[in-house]
Structure 1
Amino acid sequence: MYAIDQQNDHRTQQRAKLYRDTYPAFARWSEGYGVIQHRDETQVRVFDLCQQLLCTGRFRQIDEVLEILSAADRLATAAMWLVVHMTYTNKVNFNGSALDADDFKSNPQGHTGGSLNMVPAYAGYMVANRLAGITRSWLMGQGHCVAAIDAVNVLLQNLYPEQAERYPLSEQGLTQLARDFYSYAMADDGRPGVPLGSHVNPQTAGGLIEGGYLGFAELQYVHMPLPGERLVAFLSDGAFEEQRGSDWASRWWRAEDCGLVTPVMIANGRRIDQRSTMYQQGGLSWFYEHLEQNDFHPIAIDGRDPAAFIWGIFESEARLEACSAHIREGHMHYPVKLPYLIAETEKGYGFYGAGTNAAHGTPLPGNPSSDERSRNLFNEHAAKLFLPRSELELAISQIAQHEADNRVPEKHHALCMRNVRLQSPTEPQWHTEGDPTSPMAAVDTRFCEWHLANPDRRVRIGNPDELRSNRMGKTLDLLKHRVLKPEQGVAESIHGSVITALNEEAVVNAALGNKGGLNLVVSYEAFAMKMIGALRQEIIFARHQKALGRPPGWLSVPV
């Protein structure tokens, strides 16, 4: 095995060198930028991606693709630079000059390490959209890493009006962004005084969930995109510990009623006050085996390189599309092995303290406003991330080409722009007083009528126990359990809409993820108690959206 690995490594090195020697533009890109470096494996993968883009006619020359990939390196670098300023400073110098003691916050806060790790991922997502000419949707489970999302969006000016007005791409705008981050400012009416938060919120362009409950994104993503839509879901290795049920995603995915999904785990070795089961059981090698046993196709990528994320998104979607075609032709059967990207990195890569436990929050040894050593360390390591204004503007011009591609900006991706409308069924059957009819039986009948009046709307029924014992027999017979091997004479189907699992969070999140359709969750009170966290997160997020004048357009989820 070791000899084979050595041969593969040697062949990879050989191919990467051949591409560099043959294409000067490829050689220039391969050098990376600042802390962004491209491994030989990533170089070979990216070269193959370039050829695919040329073969599809999306680009005419490899140099065009490489210019955009170089812009990705620079965008990621600038966003990492901005993230560390958001944690520590009250001032941003667009010329990159060193900051003095008065330029630092008296109480720096932020999940700096995780945010730094998210920057290459989100920047890669943005550039993958540019290369494909498609606006994919995005979802982030670790909502505390919002600084990465805001930093990239501010640099690209992919913002909602309230942020665009306050954070223009100028020294003043970036300084305001840094000052507002974790400022705890309050308006006179008691609401937040700035359009910025410590977690993903309705002012985060394209944000879908707050992400305060780690693990709920893992349960929702497979139920989110409709056919024809694409979703990149950024997930946390810590969430794997906190919430079970994400292992079952391949059980639920069907090409006939699901869009393309690309789960991406940011594997930065979470360790705050405890060691995770994953790392006690054998680390990532154990996790790869775990994924394979649960019908995933794990793909390792370099989590420090935006180009690796770009390649991974294209590769994941291509594999899923190929599997879907084989199923349509009768050459494959469900479950499909869902591609699953594992972005291996170290907590806080790119800045001082990377890989240490301190990188989870504020990685410097002290407060730069009062500690000279920490101040010097900040200036030294921030300088490694600095991107001159002229290079930043060139990178932005390469990436922000939405009008030329005739596509919507990422703040208006499909999943956050739901506007579901239903055709009303016929008048319900009313019962007279004293008629011995179960209220649940009436709900059962009426839900079937709603579905039959709107057959084009995808349905998800969340069910952690027995649907028929809850007097929902008509719904079960009509919509059926979603299973992989239906039994004869039982209300089961490969394409059933009833999601049944002995995990209350998994079934309620199946409904909450299906914001493009019609949903119902049926359970007992005892089971329902574990659903309250997910419901609370959704209710608060929707309430805040409404307060901003952007109420959600998805249907309420009866539980």
Structure 2
Amino acid sequence: MAQLGKSLMDKMHAYWRAANYLSVGQIYLLDNPLLRQPLQREHIKPRLMGHWGTTPGLNFIYVHLNRVINARKQPMIYITGPGHGGPGLVANSWLEGSYSEIYPNVSQDYEGLRKLCKQFSFPGGIPSHVAPETPGSMHEGGELGYSVSHAYGAVFDNPELVAACVVGDGEAETGPLATSWHSNKFLNPLRDGVVLPILHLNGYKIANPTVLARLSTDELTKLFEGYGYKPHYVEIGKDPDDFAAIHRKMAATLDTVMDEIASIKARALREEKSGRPLSRPKWPMIILKTPKGWTGPKEIDGKKVEGYWRSHQVPFSDMTPGHIAALETWLKSYQPDELFTESGELRPDLAALAPRGELRMSANPHVHGLVSRDLKMPDFRDYAVAFDKPGNKVAEATRVMGKFLRDVMRDNMDAQNFRIFGPDETASNRWGDVLDASAKVWLADYKPEDETNDHLSTDGRVMEILSEHTCQGWLEGYLLTGRHGFFSCYEAFIHVIDSMFNQHAKWLKTTLDIPWRRPLPSLNYLLTSHVWRQDHNGFSHQDPGFLDHVVNKRAEVIRVYLPADANMLLVTTDHCLRSRHHVNVVVAGKQPALQYLTIDQAIKHCTKGVGIWDWASTDAGVEPDVVIACAGDVPTMEALAATDLLRQHFPDLKVRFVNVVDLMTLQPKSEHPHGLDDHEYESIFTTDKPVVFAFHGYPWLIHRLTYRRCGQENMHVRGYVEEGTTTTPFDMVVMNRVDRYTLAIDVIDRVEKLTRTGAHVRQAFEDKLIEHKSYIHTHGDDMPEIKNWAWPY
């Protein structure tokens, strides 16, 4: 590309001034948006909120990317790591027209300018971050560390797309961000798009210097070369007001970088045509060094502001007469009269700098859910486990699920619409059959022994890296741009991404009420290697508490499923992959376990979410003496075994056996769309009979979900109570009092007629628990009658 000409450079500089002006205006102005009257206190918001420090740098990058998009007709999205630079992204979407197209009341004129400024961080207006309400956004940045993984997730299977990803130097200090730089080892230059990282070093966080900004150029270069990037530097000289020099430098660097990207793509195509192995490129990145709060006040009250942490948020908020005058001087330094027409529109020759249509970064359809397609789905019934009677056949539920996912992968390979993600656990979690359809993607170096390993490929769509943060970020980026996926993880370690789940759930909740955004594919989790079968790894691997965290989120968004066998898991998996705009949490074991429902029974049961298992109950046609309920695979087995014990010793006892597969059915319908109404709930659980509930997670979650139900005082829940170690599988349930003997004792203690007649049986069950402890300490394994138990009826 030719050197940036003076005329174009002057217009770009003016466009940047306009974006900066509107950014400051959004933070401060309630009225008088073009300062056509002397600035008064009544023109300024009573409460000043927002972040200025990062914003001028974001605006600078934006205007230069627009030039590249126009020159090369390159579809591009803008990932804003410093998401608190919200006023800049709102300003740019207004300048290029997409904001007014989506929000006609915020028009491109004087009245629209007034509304644009007033609404920012204002009651009834918009948030201060790059929120879902901002056109072109798919990364809010309210929590730092995920911009790079989101960017890579967005470009996987999007070969024409470039994600310009701005990384703030404060964000660059986070662990998730540091790991995500390694995403370049998973990017196929032919099948995928491109991430252009732009590390924005402005030197300071909210009140401290940043680490990377204080490294020497040599050390910084070595760091990113070690990550596998080719860094290009853009920085101002000694005079921060020498704008012409840095504009030319930025334009030249972007041209160089885009030429390098085109060269990498062309080389990959030649390698493919020649049959040579696809080599991993050194992808370019830009390191941009500018002052924090660039173009803002140099000093306020004799204290340094530009180029210092004081510019991070609102540089001054005490609106004394002197500060009002300083704000007016600051705003007028952008010369708004030269930028906007009499009617308040951006000057036409400046407006012409913005790309057109879907090439505008604020109108790119990938980030609004507009290019999403449904998956082609095989029939899950074809993978069903067949058996003659319940509770006798053994199968590995997640292995059956893996066969189904294998064919989901295979059927969607051409559409490039589906990937699975996990931290080095695809095979461990019994999804190994998926590797028959697609290998694990890998573009780092290969060793000779890898040549016989057909599970590594430059063209794979199984994503593994030992970082739950990066897996989650990749998947979120993939989903936010309209594709589908599943994330498998050990149950205890899904907590690593608690806050990422939290942010995504908030995004989904907010976008439900934004009509111009389309429903996204659901975020699907399989949590396996769960608490009850982590007897070998011990206490550190035993924690079912993610469920408690999930149910805090809005009912419109979250779903929790606890299928007790393989056929229920098949039905649940099919449902999750077809759903949209939910977070689906599925908990299922990977170890050999008993199977209970045929596929037809599983369909009916999972559709209802909760139900009485007639074949395990003895109360048909009469009132039950007790309800034994359960949720989760191991608790279901223990509840059935307890029912068996009670039937042996108390044949006249009327037991109703209830299984819950959709946890949210326990809430009232008024609180969750899957909830049972009171009549349905009471017909299953009764209002006056004791309920002994064996639960997969922490017992108080069941009480929390059912606290408003009639008969709550009869609910007695057993679940995980933070007892665990390296022990036997049955000892894990014994330690937490969810075992069959304890459940049976609970029934004896709560059914009035058994409290008078069941003392001998109760003592026998207590003796069995003592015998169990003695046996495992001697033999290191569970008693045969426990290991080999099956439903006998």
- Please give the range of the TM-score, normalised by the shorter of the 2 chains: 0.7 to 0.9
2:427 to 461, 464, 468: 468
Q: TM-score, normalised by structure 2?
A: 0.57
Residue type of the partner of 1:172?
E
**2:460 paired with 1:496:** yes
**2:149 paired with 1:219:** yes
**2:31 paired with 1:91:** yes
The answer for the alignment partner of 1:199 in structure 2 is: 129
The answer for the alignment partner of 1:315 in structure 2 is: 256
For 2:55 and 2:10, the matched residues in 1 are separated by 21
Does the CA-based 8 Å contact 2:68-2:255 persist in structure 1? yes
The answer for the alignment partner of 1:41 in structure 2 is: none
Deviation at 1:310, TM superposition (A): 4.4
**2:389 paired with 1:423:** no
1:276 to 188, 201, 210: 210
2:312 to 360, 371, 387: 360
**2:234 paired with 1:301:** yes
What are the Cα deviations for residues 10-53 of structure 1, in whole angstroms up to 9, with x where unaligned? Answer: xxxxxxxxxxxxxxxxxxxxxxxxxxxxxxxxxxxxxxx237xx
Residue type of the partner of 1:300?
Y
**2:196 paired with 1:259:** no
C-alpha distance 289-414 of structure 1, shift in aligned 2 (>3 A):
farther
Give the alignment of 1:113-512 within 5 angstroms.
Answer: 113-159=53-99, 161=101, 163-165=103-105, 167-183=106-122, 185=123, 193-194=124-125, 196-225=126-155, 226-242=158-174, 243=176, 244-279=178-213, 282-302=215-235, 305=246, 308-330=249-271, 333-352=278-297, 353-364=305-316, 366-368=317-319, 371-387=320-336, 388=338, 389-390=340-341, 392-400=346-354, 402=356, 408-416=359-367, 417-426=370-379, 427-432=381-386, 433-434=390-391, 435-458=393-416, 459-483=418-442, 484-486=444-446, 487-490=450-453, 491-512=455-476
Give the 3-state SS of the residue equivalent to 1:206 in structure 2: coil
For 2:37 and 2:251, the matched residues in 1 are separated by 32
What are the Cα deviations for residues 251-298 of structure 1, in whole angstroms up to 9, with x where unaligned? Answer: 111112211221112111123234433245x25542222001111010
Give the alignment of 1:520-559 within 5 angstroms.
Answer: 520-559=486-525
- Which stretches in structure 2 are left out of the alignment for 5+ residues? 237-242, 298-304, 526-793
Give the alignment of 1:5-154 within 5 angstroms.
Answer: 49-50=1-2, 67-94=7-34, 98-154=38-94
Give the 3-state SS of the residue equivalent to 1:514 in structure 2: helix
What are the Cα deviations for residues 106-155 of structure 1, in whole angstroms up to 9, with x where unaligned? Answer: 32221011112211112222333233334422211221101001112223
Deviation at 1:77, TM superposition (A): 0.4
- Which stretches in structure 1 are left out of the alignment for 5+ residues? 1-48, 52-61, 186-192
C-alpha distance 98-122 of structure 1, shift in aligned 2 (>3 A):
farther
CA RMSD of aligned residues (A): 2.5
Indicate the structure whose relative CO is greater, using CA pairs within 8 Å and at least 6 residues apart: 1
Deviation at 1:161, TM superposition (A): 4.6
Moved more, 223-232 or 311-320: 311-320
What are the Cα deviations for residues 404-451 of structure 1, in whole angstroms up to 9, with x where unaligned? Answer: xxx554333142133122222245321234431211012101111111
Does the CA-based 8 Å contact 1:209-1:541 persist in structure 2? no
Does the CA-based 8 Å contact 1:130-1:401 persist in structure 2? yes
C-alpha distance 513-162 of structure 1, shift in aligned 2 (>3 A):
closer
Deviation at 1:179, TM superposition (A): 1.8
Deviation at 1:517, TM superposition (A): 3.4
For 1:519 and 1:160, the matched residues in 2 are separated by 34
Give the 3-state SS of the residue equivalent to 1:84 in structure 2: helix
For 2:204 and 2:278, the matched residues in 1 are separated by 36
Does the CA-based 8 Å contact 2:154-2:478 persist in structure 1? yes
Residue type of the partner of 2:261?
L
Give the 3-state SS of the residue equivalent to 1:399 in structure 2: coil
Q: Which protein is bigger by CA-based radius of gyration?
A: 2
Deviation at 1:80, TM superposition (A): 0.8
Deviation at 1:386, TM superposition (A): 1.8
Percent identical across equivalent pairs? 18
The answer for the alignment partner of 1:21 in structure 2 is: none
Deviation at 1:454, TM superposition (A): 1.4
Deviation at 1:241, TM superposition (A): 0.6
Does the CA-based 8 Å contact 1:89-1:103 persist in structure 2? yes
Does the CA-based 8 Å contact 1:154-1:169 persist in structure 2? yes
Give the 3-state SS of the residue equivalent to 2:384 in structure 1: coil
What are the Cα deviations for residues 68-102 of structure 1, in whole angstroms up to 9, with x where unaligned? Answer: 44322111101111211222222234365541232
Residue type of the partner of 2:361?
E
Moved more, 536-545 or 75-84: 536-545
The answer for the alignment partner of 1:27 in structure 2 is: none
Does the CA-based 8 Å contact 2:204-2:308 persist in structure 1? no
Larger fraction in helix: 1
Deviation at 1:200, TM superposition (A): 1.5
For 2:23 and 2:36, the matched residues in 1 are separated by 14
Does the CA-based 8 Å contact 1:219-1:246 persist in structure 2? yes
Does the CA-based 8 Å contact 1:460-1:510 persist in structure 2? no
C-alpha distance 287-336 of structure 1, shift in aligned 2 (>3 A):
same
Residue type of the partner of 1:538?
H
Give the 3-state SS of the residue equivalent to 1:329 in structure 2: helix
Deviation at 1:171, TM superposition (A): 2.6
Deviation at 1:482, TM superposition (A): 2.2
Give the 3-state SS of the residue equivalent to 1:519 in structure 2: strand
Moved more, 478-487 or 113-122: 478-487
Does the CA-based 8 Å contact 1:96-1:386 persist in structure 2? no
What are the Cα deviations for residues 511-557 of structure 1, in whole angstroms up to 9, with x where unaligned? Answer: 22223533221110122111222222222212222212245454223
Residue type of the partner of 1:234?
V
Deviation at 1:214, TM superposition (A): 0.9
C-alpha distance 414-288 of structure 1, shift in aligned 2 (>3 A):
farther
Does the CA-based 8 Å contact 1:260-1:317 persist in structure 2? no
**2:493 paired with 1:519:** no
For 1:158 and 1:550, the matched residues in 2 are separated by 12
Moved more, 433-442 or 309-318: 309-318
For 1:97 and 1:315, the matched residues in 2 are separated by 45
Residue type of the partner of 2:438?
L
Residue type of the partner of 1:411?
S
For 2:213 and 2:353, the matched residues in 1 are separated by 37
C-alpha distance 69-385 of structure 1, shift in aligned 2 (>3 A):
same
Deviation at 1:174, TM superposition (A): 1.6
Residue type of the partner of 1:348?
G
The answer for the alignment partner of 1:33 in structure 2 is: none
For 2:224 and 2:359, the matched residues in 1 are separated by 34
For 1:321 and 1:286, the matched residues in 2 are separated by 28
